[in-house]
Structure 1
Amino acid sequence: MNSEYSALELDALKEVINIGGGNAATSLSNLIDKPVNMTVPIIEMLDYSEVYEQIMPEDAVVKAIMMRMFGDADGMFLFTVDQAASESIVKMMMPEGISYSELLADSALQELVNILVHSFLNAIIKLLDIQLVTSVPLLTKDMFGAIMSSVYVEQGQYEESVMIIKNEFYYAGDRLESSLYFVPQPGILEKMFELLGVGGED
């Protein structure tokens, strides 16, 4: 993987994301009262063309819930889910006897992402001893390519290669067709590496 960061820095970042994602998976398990597991976080430098080849087609229509992060570090959390997975996740969350509706699904997904992100951040806040707050969840529906490119541009990342940081969740042995991305503003990762004591290492 081509990267301006050292192997030590990327390993430290992966461990931080792993702790945060594990915390989120535990919160999700508690919410639905069913076991949810998480894979080892994916951290890769990819061109946009590689993103659409390896992760999801550019023209795939998804629901996306975005939450901005402010404080000692700035960035954006992005949760993406396709229609089929949206229905599955919402049905997992809802008590028996509750009829599915698109309005209910959108509200449930926003609350789910709110819980995931805050669980993630609570772990990071304790680990790094920093102050972080978030915006309220914002839901949109669009093509995956349009959502990804707009989020990276909004975060001030204009390069052709972008760092993909994401967690994937599994339920009953099957991958939930959804991912939680973290898109940092430029310079934020360097601050995190300094806090972790690995900044500037080769």
Structure 2
Amino acid sequence: MNKFQPLQIDAIKEMVNIGGGHAATSISALIKEPVDMTVPLIEIMEYEELYQQIMSEDKVVYAVTTQVIGNGSGIFLFALPEKSAQEISSMMLPNGIEQTEDLMVSSIKELANILVNSFLNAISQLLDVRLLSSVPNLMIDMFGSIISSLYMAVDQYDDEVLIIKNEFFYSGNQMDAYLYFIPEVGVLEKLFKAIGV
């Protein structure tokens, strides 16, 4: 069970909604088609709870990792099952373009880049802090293996994970994806203190 209060989660949800609105606008401009995005789930939970409540550890996913550098260091992980990956890739690619594996990977990385930077920009503007993101990296593996490898690679990271469920609506279709933020120790507390909750 996480140690944060409903008011703190609401504050995060407000920032995420602002970032999601910016992301939807950017994606719509890129593909020249209307895209709506909602954020129905914002939750902070322990590392071990992910597999029980969000996604099983043996689920194969397309996963994009992006490191955050600055006053709120951590790693963003954008993860989606293969079916959603194919649908989102089709949304991102121009009509008539064959969906090769390379183009699929490229389009998912671009979408993750837009999402992460939209959220970082919303936080940066609200709190007047400088946050930068690394070049996104994509891997295809079991969800549990990806999460474990991130924690082993950077063992100073907190065992609390911020989960953002994004729902994309494009041409009447709904596509689900999850964005995770694995923070360095104390980053979430610093964020709440800066917001004033």
- Does 2:130 match 1:142? no
Indicate how the Cα distance of structure 1 residues 72 and 157 shifts in structure 2: closer, same or farther if over 3 A, else same.
Answer: closer
Kept after mapping to 1: 8 A contact 2:90/2:99 = yes
RMSD after superposition: 2.0
Q: Distance in 2 between matches of 1:11 and 1:177?
A: 21
Q: Displacement, 1:35?
A: 2.2
TM-score, structure 1 normalization: 0.85
TM-score, structure 2 normalization: 0.87
Cα deviation, 1:73-106, whole Å, max 9, x if unaligned, reads 1011111122221111111111122111001111
Q: How many aligned residue pairs are there?
A: 194
Question: Which one is further off, 21-30 or 72-81?
Answer: 21-30
**Where has structure 1 moved over 6 Å in runs of 4 or more?**
none
Q: 1:46-65 alignment to 2 at 5 Å? A: 46=46, 48=48, 50-65=49-64
Q: Distance in 2 between matches of 1:89 and 1:24?
A: 14
- Does 2:98 match 1:99? yes
Kept after mapping to 2: 8 A contact 1:17/1:41 = no
Kept after mapping to 1: 8 A contact 2:161/2:180 = no
Kept after mapping to 2: 8 A contact 1:64/1:139 = yes
State the match for 1:38 in structure 2. Answer: 38
Q: Which runs of 5+ in 1 are unaligned?
A: none
State the match for 1:11 in structure 2. Answer: 10
Q: Distance in 2 between matches of 1:93 and 1:174?
A: 14
AA matched with 1:167: K
SS in 1 for 2:96: coil
% identity of equivalent residues: 43
Q: Distance in 1 between matches of 2:126 and 2:37?
A: 21
Cα deviation, 1:160-180, whole Å, max 9, x if unaligned, reads xx3342131221454313222
Q: Distance in 1 between matches of 2:155 and 2:11?
A: 22
